[in-house]
């Protein structure tokens, strides 16, 4: 899936997306935060348009926030899953999309187990496709909301900041989008976890030499030694459902070696932020005590802030593709 060029008609990946395009979406999202949170009247920017949510894999956050984002832009939404649609009778996803396009939908939001399906649909249809997570490839709106959250906590310029991404990197579309988005903005990324889940080859996922000012990427398996130097730590869910997974994906000492315990969190610097894309395996990737540290004004955990920012980011992304807003 690597090195596909960024197609401005769709939002398929953060790989290849220019820093100014990332920042344009985030700045629009900032302007719409109150509307995104239901604290200001909805817009009519997409009135009369219908956004089709094609969720062929389960989701709570992404699906709900794309729906809320569309409605807060004035659009209607249509929800389809594999179960209950003719995909369960063998109709291809492309034929499904072509049939919905023939009914006048304005854009597709696509979540699926297989990497590359949003790209495949984008080639087949004439309307925008937004990738809501495809297999182990990318989850671009998650990457954008992660960056938005980090900018709130660390300041708008992430250049030179150090962000650790910890856990099941090999199976994670969230990690891939974060790696591309963060290094494009000049942040340094450290990938940490067991060697089976964090192979050294990830260091070549981005070509730092190719773009001036790009952040560096490093694999390091020693979580304890890196903690004091971090500006943020993103804990990832162990994805037992992915191919080759199951309980054998990790060994019994995973939590002891790579979990963000309260003791480890205490070794982070005072300003450091804890992220997790959700859903969380409480007590495995991080302790409840760390996850629930959301005390006002700035508890260490920004996990629910990430969720809130997701609505604004998805509003901005849909508006950019469907109404030219923020470009
Ligand atoms: N972060 C995320 O993609 O969560 P969902 O699977 O609930 O959408």
Distance 135 CA to ligand 1 centre (A): 12
Nearest-atom number in ligand 1 for the CA of 60 is 7
- Phi/psi for 191 (5° steps) reads -100, 130
Is the dihedral angle over the CA atoms 272, 269, 283, 178 positive or is it negative? Answer: positive
d(CA 42, CA 308): 16
Letter string b/e over residues 239-254, b meaning 16 or more CB atoms within 10 A of that residue's CB: beebeeeeeebbeeeb
Query: For residues 256 and 245, is the Cβ–Cβ distance under 8 A?
Result: no
Q: Token pair of 226, please?
A: 């890196």
CA–CA separation, 18 and 8 (whole Å): 11
Q: Please, how many CA atoms are within 13 Å of residue 74, restricted to the half-sphere of its CB?
A: 12
Measured between alpha carbons, how far is 313 from 58 in angstroms, rounded to an integer? 20
Nearest Cα residue to atom 4 of ligand 1? 61
| Ligand 1 binding pocket, CB closer than 6 Å | 59-63, 133, 139, 142, 277-279
Q: Is the dihedral of CA 5, 208, 130, 21 positive or negative?
A: negative
Could you give the angle at the alpha carbon of 65 between the alpha carbons of 29 and 138, nearest 5°? 80
Q: Is the dihedral of CA 98, 99, 103, 109 positive or negative?
A: negative
Please count the other Cβ atoms lying within 10 Å of the Cβ belonging to residue 304: 14
- Give the position, in ligand 1's atom list, of the atom nearest the Cα of 58: 6
d(CA 74, CA 312): 14
Q: Ligand 1, residues 238, 277, 313: which to mutate, most atoms within 8 A of Cβ?
A: 277
Which residues does residue 52 pair with via DSSP β-bridges, in sequence order? 78, 108
pLDDT in tens, the chain (327 residues): 444 456 789 999 999 999 999 999 999 999 999 999 999 999 999 999 999 999 999 999 999 999 999 999 999 999 998 888 888 889 999 999 999 999 999 999 999 999 999 999 999 999 999 999 999 999 999 999 999 999 999 999 999 999 999 999 999 999 999 999 999 999 999 999 999 999 999 999 886 555 668 999 999 999 999 999 999 999 999 988 775 656 667 777 899 999 999 999 999 999 999 999 999 999 999 999 999 998 766 789 999 999 999 999 999 999 999 998 653
Cα 191–197–201 angle (5° rounding)? 65
62 CA closest ligand 1 atom index:
8
CB 126 within 8 A of CB 100: no
Question: Which atom in ligand 1 lies closest to the alpha carbon of residue 139?
Answer: 3
- Distance between Cα 61 and ligand 1 center (Å): 5
User: What's the 28 CA to ligand 1 centre distance in angstroms?
Assistant: 22
- CA–CA distance, 192 with 209 (Å, rounded to integer): 22
Ligand 1 centre from 58 Cα, in Å? 8
Distance 213 CA to ligand 1 centre (A): 31
Cβ neighbors of 148 (< 8 A, separation 6 or more) are: 26, 29, 30, 309, 312, 313
Quick one: pLDDT at residue 214? Answer: 92
Give the closest residue (by CA) to ligand 1 atom 5: 59
Q: For the residues of 187-213, what is the DSSP string, one character each?
A: -EEEEES-TTTS-GGGGGSS-TTTSTT
Beginning with the edge strand found earlier in the chain, give each strand of the sheet holding 76-81 in spatial order. 76-81, 50-55, 107-112, 129-134
Measured CA to CA, the distance from residue 114 to residue 135 in angstroms comes to 5
């Amino acid at each position: 899936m690597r090195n596909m060029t960024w197609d401005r008609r769709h939002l398929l990946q953060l790989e290849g997306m220019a820093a100014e395009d990332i920042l344009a979406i985030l700045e629009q999202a900032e302007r719409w935060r109150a509307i995104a949170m239901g604290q200001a009247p909805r817009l009519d920017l997409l009135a009369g348009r219908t956004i089709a949510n094609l969720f062929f894999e389960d989701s709570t956050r992404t699906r709900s926030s794309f729906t809320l984002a569309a409605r807060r832009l004035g659009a209607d939404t249509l929800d389809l899953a594999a179960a209950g649609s003719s995909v369960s009778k063998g109709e291809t996803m492309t034929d499904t999309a072509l049939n919905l396009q023939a009914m006048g939908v304005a854009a597709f939001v696509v979540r699926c187990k297989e990497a590359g399906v949003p790209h495949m649909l984008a080639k087949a249809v004439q309307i925008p496709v937004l990738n809501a997570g495809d297999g182990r490839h990318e989850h671009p709106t998650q990457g954008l909301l992660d960056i938005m959250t980090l900018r709130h906590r660390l300041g708008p310029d992430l250049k030179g900041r150090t962000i650790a991404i910890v856990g099941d990197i090999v199976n994670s579309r969230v990690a891939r989008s974060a790696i591309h988005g963060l290094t494009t903005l000049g942040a340094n990324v450290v990938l940490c976890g067991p060697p089976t889940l964090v192979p050294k080859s990830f260091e070549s996922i981005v070509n730092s030499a190719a773009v001036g000012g790009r952040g560096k990427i490093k694999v390091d398996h020693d979580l304890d030694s890196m903690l004091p130097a971090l500006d943020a730590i993103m804990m990832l869910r162990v994805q037992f459902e992915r191919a080759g997974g199951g309980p054998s994906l990790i060994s019994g000492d995973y939590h002891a070696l790579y979990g963000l315990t309260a003791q480890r969190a205490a070794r982070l610097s005072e300003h450091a932020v804890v992220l997790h894309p959700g859903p969380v395996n409480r007590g495995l990737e991080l302790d409840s005590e760390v996850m629930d540290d959301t005390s006002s004004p700035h508890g260490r955990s920004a996990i629910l802030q990430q969720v809130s920012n997701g609505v604004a980011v998805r509003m901005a992304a849909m508006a950019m593709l469907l109404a030219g807003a923020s470009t």
